[in-house]
Chains A and B, each alone.
Chain A
Amino acid sequence: MNEPTPRRTWPLYEVFVRGKRGLNHVHVGSLHAADDEMALHNARDVYTRRNEGVSIWVVRADLITASSPDEKDPFFAPSADKVYRHPTFYAIPDEVPHL
């Protein structure tokens, strides 16, 4: 009993909240918890004290794969060079309604 237990910090979770029906979940911050269920409870208490959300996602930060800023240019290039994905790419005569 006397041997000091090495301090283990609870894992870091990232928290995402859906503000209301019809909106995407948005990242709001992070917290620590011993397990997924506790993370969800803590997220409710920390991030939704005033009805800020109708749904919460928590995910362990070490399970997230992220692009890094250095990769940014090549990584996001495919969307930047495909202007035809945007509606403004297409010229439509002004007389044509509802387009």
Chain B
Amino acid sequence: MADTGTPATGTPDTAPHTGPGTGALEAGFDATVAADRRIEPRDWMPEGYRRTLIRQIAQHAHSEIIGMQPEGNWILRAPSLRRKAILLAKVQDEAGHGMYLYAAAETLGVDREDLTERLIDSRQKYSSIFNYPALSYADIGVIGWLVDGAAICNQVPLCRCSYGPYARAMIRICKEESFHQRQGYELLLAMVKGTDAQRTMVQESVDRWWWPSLMMFGPPDGDSPNTRQSMAWGIKRHTNDELRQRFVDMSVPQAAALGVTLPDADLRWNAERGAHDYGEPDWAEFKAVVSGSGPANAQRVAHRRRAHENGAWVREAAQAWADKQAARAARKDAA
């Protein structure tokens, strides 16, 4: 049971961090990470490791939750019952991903309610990609193909993250993501086999989503000060630029099969490197979107806040029902 993260006595936060034992505890932690074994919730861990994980897992959870919005907007407008059912299932999965991740974050001693508050007060971030609007139905295909595709590149290495609950959540998530990417790509295949107007719509969508998708891997390595520490802790397995390169190399043949052009004049195969050269994303835009001035930041957070506040009566009613049932059971016991 030691891996349930049960906040029993001696929650991780109150574990001794200083004193004569710390050296041995730290050595034990380092040895576990070095041996590529997993750290579990009740193990001793450095404060920085815990803080980094809480921030990363919370941001990741928020991204899944906010990520429902651009696609959710298209459920009622999907063109057939088949496409509606698929999109509904995908959006529901994203809610599930958020739940797995909030559960993983809680094993580190934070409270889920508190994380939601931090999101709707804009005190914690989420992936910049969800601050772009989904303007056409082709976007539903492109989001599945490129956005979920980029997420998969980021997430597969996290299945081997040194923190057990996060790694296990990622394994569940990765199993489900493959459906997300394939349904998007299949949707695009259907559209490019359609009319000229549909092909134009797909290309226009790719033109808008390509660069924001590359930005999902975060700033370039030279501008990513925390990467080295995260890699030393076994939280991260590859640098941002390594993952971005992998994504570019995977996407090029997929784009060719669709007959769409990726909007980058510098994109070409480099035989010497055995990889594609590609252009520099607009990092000024990335910084602006991350720090709140993307096209849809305000709308996304406001919507999440509204959903949370409008759901208050449901939570209260469920609590009142549970209290009443508990009181009834207690009376029966007493009698």
B-contacting residues of A (Cβ < 8 Å)? 7-10, 12, 14, 27-32, 34-35, 38, 45-46, 49-50, 61-62, 64-69
Contacts and interface: CB of A to CB of B under 8 A. Distances in A.
A32 B111 CA distance: 11
Nearest to B169: A29
Interface of B: 1-8, 10, 40, 42-44, 89, 92-93, 96, 99-100, 103-104, 106-107, 111-113, 168-169, 172, 176, 315, 318-319, 321-322, 325-326
A75 to B, nearest CB: 10
B6 A14 contact: yes
Contacts of B104: 29
- Please give me the 6 A-B residue pairs with the lowest Cβ-Cβ distance, nearest first: A35-B322, A34-B322, A34-B318, A66-B1, A30-B103, A29-B103
A31 B99 contact: yes
A30 B5 contact: yes
Contacts of A27: 1, 3-4
Residue from A8, A34, A35, A49 whose CB has the most chain B CB atoms within 10 Å: A34
B106 A30 contact: yes
B100 A46 contact: yes
A27 B164 CA distance: 13
Contacts of B113: 7, 9
A64 to B, nearest CB: 5
B8 A66 contact: yes
A61 B4 contact: yes
Contacts of A64: 1, 4, 6, 8
